[in-house]
Amino acid sequence: MENYQVPPYKIKMVEPIKLITKSQRINRLKEAGYNPFRLKSEDVFIDLLTDSGTGAMSHFQWGALMQGDEAYAGSRSFYRLEKVVKDITGYKYVIPAHQGRGAEQVVLPLLIKEGMTVISNIHFDTTRAHVELAGGRAVDCACKECFDLENYHPFKGNFDLDKLKTVIKEKGKENIAAIIMTITNNSAGGQPVSLENMRAVNHIARENHIPIVIDGARYAENSFYIKQREKGYENKSIRAIALETFALADIFLMSSKKDGLVNIGGLIAIKDNLEIFQKAQVRVIPMEGFPTYGGLSGRDMDALAIGLQEALDEDYLRYRIDEIRYLGDLLKAGGVPIQYPTGGHAVFVDCGAIVPHIPFDEFPAQAVCNELYIEGGIRGVEIGSLLLGRDPDTHENLKADKEFLRLTIPRRTYTYDHLRYVAETMIKVYKRRHKIKGLKFTYESPILRHFTAKFEPIE
């Protein structure tokens, strides 16, 4: 283990988990319509569905919960949170939200007029949904290395700058509502974005008078990668790198369920635009709550104020990133194809390469995901053609670029031992890959089908 950071904390409280028998797992999955989203968590041994709100809080955070000020307006907890966010971002204005999508629904409609375009490296699903709900069009400008799974690149989350310039030119700069820098780039596998790339994006945006939004659910993980991989940042603190990142944007939206190290919460921070701040304050009231709580309780805000600071601790970040690298290294050594290098919150397994005999509309990654549950009680999630859905006009199934199984690692929750078990189980599934069968729908909802769909195996 000499190449991997030892966890910089010990365990004070435990939550039992249980591996039910294989025949029980087979039955439960069948009852769940071969869709792991429909499983009960008590039937899951190791839950790698998401890293969102699934992490463990520290004893400092649990202690802070007792001091929450539950005043409707002007809560002390809000002012403690506000101070921390101002220090980290260097921004003037802070509004809490109940989670990331809450922050999006308040701010994005303030920037977007009907028919305008929003550009991102890759829009996260809810961000895309809020752009479209506000009448905008979401265009992605991911760099091409992002889709080259096998070859190392330090910053696969980067923007393709030429494509960015071309889109601005084609649409006309006055029709671009905003550029959203998603850091890390969640949909590309939690891949980081370099400061060099963000500086170039900032330059292009300034030239064209386009506001920049940071979608920064994992900004601390991104800052750690910059320290590790970008020339000139080896000796800078994570805080200094984060501050330099925020200086390149105008608005920060955050799902605090990730690098906020809390189970629920979101944030809006605005650099200095008073008009946008005042409009956001008006909008937040009917949507999320009064501007000094935004859908959170006082105790939630206190836990978040501490979580934000803990997430910037370098030892914590090194361990976090190493845990994911460890799982990726074991899988690679076992022959399992993955997005390499691993990103900040998950290992993305390339199921298109594992079960090429299963066509995209029989959902290869969902089939592998189900086998992983049967083999060892592990719940991953499909990120592929099932998630993508159907063409709204033709109703044909759309084919995703990649059929991924995402193994998402909650923060401070599982140990290297759990991950070794995950790798060994995945490798067993990989060895019997030729026998894995595709799936067909027995129920499919018209939108967001992946959450509720039911299937049966194709014999």
Ligand X SMILES: *Cc1c(COP(=O)(O)O)cnc(C)c1O
Residues numbered 317-336 forming contacts with ligand X, rule: CB under 6 A: none
| 79, 71 contact by CB (below 8 A) | no
Q: In the complex, what is the shortest distance from the CB of residue 311 to ligand X, in angstroms, rounded to a whole number? A: 14
Rounded Cα gap, residues 165 and 171, in angstroms: 10
Q: Does residue 255 bind ligand X (CB under 6 A)?
A: yes
Residues numbered 264-283 forming contacts with ligand X, rule: CB under 6 A: 266
Closest alpha carbon to 125 in 186, 179, 189, 176: 186
Q: Does residue 263 bind ligand X (CB under 6 A)?
A: no
- Backbone dihedral region for residue 209 (phi beyond 0: left; psi -120 to 50: alpha; all else: beta): left
Pick the catalytic residue: 22, 30, 59, 72?
A: 72
Q: Does residue 130 bind ligand X (CB under 6 A)?
A: no
Query: 34 or 124: whose CB is closer to ligand X?
Result: 124
Query: 215 or 371: whose CB is closer to ligand X?
Result: 215
Pick the catalytic residue: 59, 87, 125, 162?
A: 125
Specify whether 450 is catalytic: yes
Count of beta carbons in the 10 Å neighbourhood of residue 287 = 14
Query: 257 or 402: whose CB is closer to ligand X?
Result: 257
Specify whether 215 is catalytic: yes
How many residues form the binding site for ligand X (CB under 6 A)? 15
Rounded Cα gap, residues 347 and 331, in angstroms: 9
Residues numbered 196-235 forming contacts with ligand X, rule: CB under 6 A: 215, 217
**Residue window 88-127: x/- pattern of binding to ligand X, with contact defined by CB under 6 A:** -----------xxx----------------------x-xx
Query: 215 or 323: whose CB is closer to ligand X?
Result: 215
Angle (deg, nearest 10), helices 238-246 and 195-207: 20
Write out the two tokens for 247.
Answer: 């200086």
DSSP classification of residue 454: E
Q: Which residues pair with 159 in a beta bridge?
A: 142
Pick the catalytic residue: 258, 271, 345, 418?
A: 258
Q: In the complex, what is the shortest distance from the CB of residue 127 to ligand X, in angstroms, rounded to a whole number? A: 5
Question: At residue 115, what is the residue type?
Answer: G
Residues numbered 18-57 forming contacts with ligand X, rule: CB under 6 A: 52
Write out the two tokens for 419.
Answer: 């991950």
Give the three-class secondary structure for 23: helix
Pairing of strands 266-270, 93-97: antiparallel
Closest alpha carbon to 240 in 259, 223, 222, 221: 223
Residue whose pair of structure tokens reads 């769909």 in the numeric block: 453
DSSP classification of residue 382: E
Q: In the complex, what is the shortest distance from the CB of residue 11 to ligand X, in angstroms, rounded to a whole number? A: 26
Specify whether 72 is catalytic: yes
Write out the two tokens for 309.
Answer: 């600071």
Write out the two tokens for 51.
Answer: 């890293």
Q: Does residue 182 bind ligand X (CB under 6 A)?
A: yes
Count of beta carbons in the 10 Å neighbourhood of residue 72 = 10
Closest-approach residue to ligand X (CB): 100
Pick the catalytic residue: 45, 124, 225, 319?
A: 124
Cα dist from 338 to 213, 247, 406, 447, whole Å: 30, 34, 10, 29
Specify whether 45 is catalytic: no
Q: Does residue 186 bind ligand X (CB under 6 A)?
A: yes
CB contact burial 296-329 (16+ within 10 A = b; e otherwise): bbbbbbbbbbbbbbbbbebebbbbbbbbbbbbbb
Pick the catalytic residue: 129, 404, 450, 453?
A: 450
Helix (H), strand (E) counts: the chain:
17, 14
Which one of 10-18, 40-48, 221-229, 253-261 is the stretch in contact with ligand X (CB under 6 A)? Answer: 253-261
Q: In the complex, what is the shortest distance from the CB of residue 78 to ligand X, in angstroms, rounded to a whole number? A: 19
Pick the catalytic residue: 32, 217, 269, 305?
A: 217
Closest alpha carbon to 212 in 259, 165, 248, 261: 248
Specify whether 125 is catalytic: yes
Question: At residue 219, what is the residue type?
Answer: Y
Which residues does 394 contact at the CB level (< 8 Å), separation at least 6? Answer: none
Count of beta carbons in the 10 Å neighbourhood of residue 197 = 20
Cα dist from 114 to 132, 173, 384, whole Å: 9, 15, 30
Catalytic residues: 72, 124-125, 215, 217, 258, 450
Q: Which residues bind ligand X (CB under 6 A)?
A: 52, 99-101, 124, 126-127, 182, 186, 215, 217, 255, 257-258, 266
